[in-house]
Structure 1
Amino acid sequence: MRLSNRNKASVYNFVHTLLLMMVVFGIAAFLLNEYRFHAVDEESYLFLGVPVLLLVIFHLNGRQIFEYDSDGEALNFKNRNIVPFMDRPLHDEFPKYKLITYEILTVFLMKRLYVTISSKNNGSTILKYEISYLSQKEVNDLKLSLNKVVKANKEKND
């Protein structure tokens, strides 16, 4: 099964650009109010706070693009940001038989996928992916696919 939200990259890029423009215009409105117009008093800090808060929330939600491929004998996970220099993209590929378990944690608007795989060195390794920007249907499809792999691995080991 293949799952990707790469086609939504243009929407995420638009939102990011819009938020950056809001920050720039907020700074300009704050400076104009403070040094020229004096139209609002203490509320002028909202010109700075609200756009910066929205931009921080957008980036704290994690990497926007998530791709998953379970076709063949391997599981392939890719997780990247729409802004290439923000952080390193994640790319992991491992055989299906190494998957032990997975867990999806949801805290407010943030969703994380934790995948536990068997490892020769430590016994197991936990890989973390940010799936906040997946729709609920995509998350359900991901759960269904991972459940099949985990179930097949348990049956093989028993």
Structure 2
Amino acid sequence: MRLSNKKKVPLYNFFNTLLLLLLSLGIIGFIFNEMKFDILGNASYVLIIFPLLLLCMLHLLGRQIFEYDSDGEALNFKNRNFIPFLHKNLSDEFPKYKLIKYEVVSILFVKRLYVTVSSKNSGTTMLKYEISYLTKKEVNDLKFSLNKVVKANQEKNIKNK
């Protein structure tokens, strides 16, 4: 199964540009209000704070682009930001038989995927991916696919014992 939200990059770029434009206009409006007009009084700070908070929220929710591929014998996870220099890109590929368990954690607007993989050196390794920008259907499809892999691995382990 393949899952990707790469098609939403233009939408994220639009919102980012819109928020940057609102912030720029807010700064200009704030400067004009403080220097010349003084119409808004202390409420002029809202012109800067509101767009800045929205812009921070857009970027604090994490990496926007998530790609998952379970076709073949390997699982492939990619997680990146639409602005390349903000966060480090994550890219992991490992055989399906190494997947031990997974967990999707959702707190308010932030969703994270924690994948536990078996490792030769340390026993297990936990990989973290930010999936806040996936729709509910995409998250359910991801859970369904990972459940299939985990169940298949558990059945193989039972047969081997």
Report 1:8-157 matches (<5 A).
Answer: 8-157=8-157
Shift of 1:56: 0.6
Tell me, in whole angstroms, the C-alpha distance in 2 between the residues paired with 1:17 and 1:141: 31
- In structure 1, runs of 5+ residues without a counterpart are none
Tell me, in whole angstroms, the C-alpha distance in 1 between the residues paired with 2:30 and 2:107: 33
Deviations 1:18-61 (A, max 9, x none): 11111111111111111111011111110111000000110011
TM-score, scaled relative to structure 2: 0.97
* Matched residue count: 158
Identity %: 63
- In structure 2, runs of 5+ residues without a counterpart are none
Q: Secondary structure at the match of 1:149?
A: helix
Tell me, in whole angstroms, the C-alpha distance in 2 between the residues paired with 1:20 and 1:80: 21
Runs of 4+ displaced beyond 3 Å = none
Aligned-partner residue type, residue 12 of structure 2: Y
Tell me, in whole angstroms, the C-alpha distance in 2 between the residues paired with 1:156 and 1:108: 37
Deviations 1:72-97 (A, max 9, x none): 00000001100011111110000000
